[in-house]
Amino acid sequence: MKCKELHYTDSIHYELEQTAKLMRILTAQLFERLEISISQDEYAALDTISINPGICQRDLAKLIIKDRANTGRILNCLEKNNFVTRLVDIKNNRLVKKLKITQKGIDELNFINTKIKSYLDNITEKISQEEVDRVQEILRGFRLDLEKLVEMKI
Amino acid sequence: MKCKELHYTDSIHYELEQTAKLMRILTAQLFERLEISISQDEYAALDTISINPGICQRDLAKLIIKDRANTGRILNCLEKNNFVTRLVDIKNNRLVKKLKITQKGIDELNFINTKIKSYLDNITEKISQEEVDRVQEILRGFRLDLEKLVEMKI
DNA sequence: AAAAATATGTTGCATTTACAACAATAGTAT
DNA sequence: ATACTATTGTTGTAAATGCAACATATTTTT
């Protein structure tokens, strides 16, 4: 008798959404309080670009799970602040805008990382590192399965 | 040397957000494909009310993590479809609107549960039930900690 | 070679969402 | 008693988001 899954709100799907929603609100409040100049979406984009130098906009959109329109808008902000550069180039014989983080962007990224690290670590302090790692690993597998199921129109 | 946490996009916080985002998109597509008449937010609200009969709007808002305005709008839809009733009553000497699910609402809830169950189960099929339970348990503790940290203006 | 389909980025718009202001009521303070 | 504050729900509005349409260029099809 599986009473666990009778309610959607008891499912792992809903638990995931609620936790993520809270996490997002908390991060926004943290960014506000620490007077961080960019949004958490811009921060995520900047971090993704720093790991994937030369990535084009569409591939970035897929990684940060935003549509191309909003990815472009995020990049407008980052470019205006000189945190990234857009370089028109060729990829698979296609004109694309390749993205690179600037030195100013790297500095900003490090600055934000330093500022928020202790706060973010604090959230998971009650959970052992092994458990955090384990959850992260399972979530990753979960996400990779989801990516196969979802029709991403990006 | 902890290389894991050097990048925000490698953190459990970001992993959580990405996974939840995909989950939300997939659920929306599922609701669309199965021609389910209400949104997933309305579904979550309906489920929450069914578990907490007589709950007032503000308390519901806290549970589904929406502001009062949008919770009210969700309830407008559910009430228009006769899935819930709003009954003006007193709680702590305050006038509140207490919510109850109707028989039609119960039927709709069961109908949706039946329709989506196999699809949702399918997503986590590669993960053992024990692991799902474990992740859910850890996420729950994580969420409860988050609730203490976040300033909820609801 | 012409036409159709695909890929990439941008613009416009309609929906969603959050936040602030308001109305009504009740408790608390001066 | 009057004024101030707090609670609950609604309305209005500005910002965020997603989706469709477009412009441009390339590949594939006929």
Range of the domain at B128: 38-149
Q: Is residue A18 part of a domain?
A: no
Res A6: pLDDT: 81
Instruction: Say if the Cβ atoms of A135 and B140 lie within 8 Å.
Output: no
Triad A44, A143, A17: Cα angle to 5°: 75
Q: What percent of chain A has pLDDT over 90?
A: 79
The pLDDT confidence band at residue A2, using thresholds 50, 70 and 90, is very low
Q: Is the residue at B78 inside a domain?
A: yes
Q: Is residue B120 part of a domain?
A: yes
Chain B: closest CA distance from residue A50 (Å): 9
Instruction: State the count of interchain CB pairs (< 8 A) between A and B.
Output: 150
Q: Is B150 helix (H, G, I), strand (E, B) or coil?
A: coil
CB A108 within 8 A of CB A38: yes
Which phi and psi (to 5°) does residue A84 adopt? -140, 160
**Whether residue A44 has pLDDT greater than 60:** yes
Mean pLDDT of chain B: 92
Percent of chain B scored above 70 by pLDDT? Answer: 97
What pLDDT is stored for residue B64 in this prediction? 97
Total domains, chain A: 1
Tokens 């979802």 found at: A150
In a domain, residue B76? The reply is: yes
Domain assignment present for residue B6? The answer is no
Q: Which residues of A are less than 8 Å from B18 in CB distance?
A: 65, 143
B98 forms beta bridges with B56, B87
Across all strands, nucleotide nearest A94 (CA–C1')? D26
Report chain A's mean pLDDT, rounded to a whole number.
Answer: 92
Identify the weakest region by mean pLDDT among A109-113, B77-81, B124-128: B124-128
d(CA B57, CA B72): 7
Q: Is residue B30 part of a domain?
A: no
Mean pLDDT lowest among A44-58, A100-114, B31-45, B112-126:
B112-126
Of A26, A44, A133, Cβ closest to residue B146: A26
Sign of the Cα pseudo-torsion (B70, B71, B74, B75, in order): negative
H helical segments located in chain A: 12-33, 40-51, 57-64, 68-80, 103-123, 129-149
CATH code of the domain covering residue A129: 1.10.10.10
3-state SS, residue B89: strand
Residue B64 resides in a domain:
yes
Give the residue-averaged pLDDT of B61-73. 96
Is A32 exposed, middle or buried (CB count within 10 Å of its CB: 0-12, 13-18, 19+)? exposed
Structure confidence by residue, pLDDT tens digits, B33-50: 999 999 999 999 999 999
Residue A64 domain flag:
yes
Average pLDDT over residues B73-83: 97
Residue B114 has pLDDT above 70, yes or no: yes
Query: What type of residue sits at position A19?
Result: T
Q: Which of B18, B10, B21 lies closest to A117 in space, CA to CA?
A: B10
The mean pLDDT value for A41-45 works out to 97
Phi, psi of B128 (to 5 degrees): -70, 150
Residues of B numbered 13-52 whose beta carbons fall under 8 angstroms of chain A's beta carbons: which are they?
13-27, 29, 43-44, 47-48, 50-51
pLDDT tier, B125 (very low <50, low <70, confident <90, very high otherwise): confident
Write the DSSP symbol of residue A123: H
Chain A residues 75-134 within an 8 A CB cutoff of chain B: 113, 117, 120-121, 123-124, 126-127, 131-134
